[in-house]
Amino acid sequence: MNLSDISIKNPVFAVMLSAAMVVFGYLGYRDMGISQFPEIDFPVVNITTYREASDPETTDFTRDRWTAVLGGATTGAVPASPDDGYVRAIRGGRASAPLVGGCLWLLMQTMGTPWEIELEGCILFFEDVDLPTWHLDGFLVQLLHAGKLDSVAGVVVGEMAKCDWPHHGSNDFARTKSVEDVLEDRLEPLGIPVLYGLPLGHGKHQAALPLGVTATLDADARALTIDEPALSA
């Protein structure tokens, strides 16, 4: 009669034997020195990290700019799109200040939280994708009434990809204001330099942009220049 037959006929014995094996195994493991552990060659996993943007047409311009910035080339003028160099000054002027911001939709999620964006004395940068212009208008009105734009030094509006009419998946109509209409209505009266159209955002061409560093916005020259290195040795 083997152990399995005994265990079937005596289930209490089987349970007690299993418990004993667990207890003595734990005690043996606890008291065993590291040198007594079996030598194991753990597998090495190589992970390749790559960056792809939301637009499936991500280009060499995007990749070259991204790798250049990561390589330390963080200062200098932010390049215009290689396909369409259209960049517009909503209001002229020049300002040098820390550059802060990001996707407008996400920035608005910080409002009323401990992580609410601070814009005083800064150049605000924002961009977005698939944001109907009435949402853009509402967000800017909210920032205005919250006092967030009272002390900004300037505004850089990147690419507002797929935000103008016709906006897919909605029932808006041709009388909807354009992105530039909204920017003129809400930002031009601030009396600060406002620049629109650099390839910053979710579009086909993307110029990687360091934030939190000092930049100069020269709306008259239609230029944004990063003055302070974002990386240090």
- Rounded CA separation 154/218 (Å): 9
**Which pLDDT value is given to residue 50?**
29
In a domain, 14, yes or no: no
Does 38 map to a domain? Answer: no
Q: What total number of domains does the chain contain?
A: 1
**Residue 141: domain span:** 60-226
Whether 18 is covered by a domain: the verdict is no
**Which residue shows structure tokens 């150049």?**
123
Domain for residue 70, yes or no? yes
CATH, residue 114: 3.50.30.60
Q: What is the pTM of this model?
A: 0.72
The separation between the first and the last C-alpha atoms of the chain, rounded to the nearest angstrom, is: 74
77 burial class (0-12, 13-18, 19+ CB within 10 angstroms)? middle
By residue count, the chain amounts to: 233
Does 36 fall in a domain?
no
pLDDT in tens, the chain (233 residues): 666 666 666 777 667 777 777 777 767 666 666 556 566 564 544 333 323 345 566 788 888 888 888 888 889 999 999 888 899 999 999 999 999 999 999 999 999 999 999 999 999 999 999 998 999 999 999 999 999 999 999 999 999 998 887 665 555 566 678 999 999 999 999 999 999 999 999 888 889 899 999 999 999 999 999 999 988 76
Residue 20 maps to a domain: no
pLDDT of residue 160: 93
**Which residue from 198, 159, 206 is spatially nearest to 59, judged by alpha carbons?**
206
* Residue 197 maps to a domain: yes
In-domain check, residue 196? yes
**Residue 219's pLDDT is what?**
97
